[in-house]
Amino acid sequence: NKFALPSHLTMGNFTSLGGSHSSGTKKSGAEGSGLASYVSALIDQTLTWNDIAWLRKNTRLKIVVKGVMTVEDAVASVKHGVDGIWVSNHGARQLDTTPATIEVLPEICRAVAKKVEVYVDGGIIRGTDVFKAIALGARAVFVGRPVLWGLAHSGEEGVYNAIKMLNDEFVLAMKLSGCICIEDIKPSFVKPAAAFRSKL
C-alpha cells in the first residue's frame, strides 16, 4: 500500500538514534508498505534458541518470548530458561491463515504446566475476551487496537476510557459468572463453538 509517514511527522522515540531509525517510514516500500520494510530491516533472522540461552546466562532480568503459537515452541521456551511466554500472532499480519491466539492458548498452557507465566494478545476488545483468556490459562492479556481507537477518538482520555471499559466489562463478566476472585475463573466457563454444532 506504499505507506509512508507524511513529511512533517517523525518517529519521535527514534530521532536521537540517528541513521535509518530517525527517518523511519519516510520512504514507501519498494513493493509495499514502508512500515513493513522498515520493521523487516530491524529483525535479525539469524536468531536461534541458542541466543535465548546466551541471554539467560548474561542477565537476571525477566525474559519473555513473544510470538509463541505452538506447543513445541512453548516447551522449547521453558527449556531455555524464559520467565514468560507471550502467545501472539502479531496481529495476524505476518502469516496468512494463522490460528487465532485464543485457539492455541489452552494447549500451550497445558504444555508448560505453570512452569512460566503465559500471556496472550489478539482480539481482546471486550471484557468477556479477557475473561475467556484468563479461563483458558492466561496470566494476563495485552491490548492493542482498543487503545489506539481510544487514542484516535479523544487522546489520553480516550485511552483511559477504553481500558476502564474493558475492566468494567471484565468485572461484570466475573459477577455474572459467580466468580469472586480471579482464581474462580475456570476453563469450564468456555466452550468452543464446535461443541454446540449439530451431530446430524
Contact 78, 68 (CB under 8 A): no
C-alpha 99/C-alpha 86 separation (Å) is 15
Catalytic residue of the set 8, 80, 90, 153: 90
The DSSP symbol for 61 reads: S
C-alpha 42/C-alpha 11 separation (Å) is 15
Q: Is 87 helix (H, G, I), strand (E, B) or coil?
A: strand
C-alpha 106/C-alpha 27 separation (Å) is 41
Contact 48, 29 (CB under 8 A): no
Reply yes or no on whether 8 is catalytic: no
C-alpha 101/C-alpha 90 separation (Å) is 10
Residue with cell 468494567: 168
Sequence-separated (6 or more) residues with CB below 8 Å from residue 96: none
Catalytic residues: 90
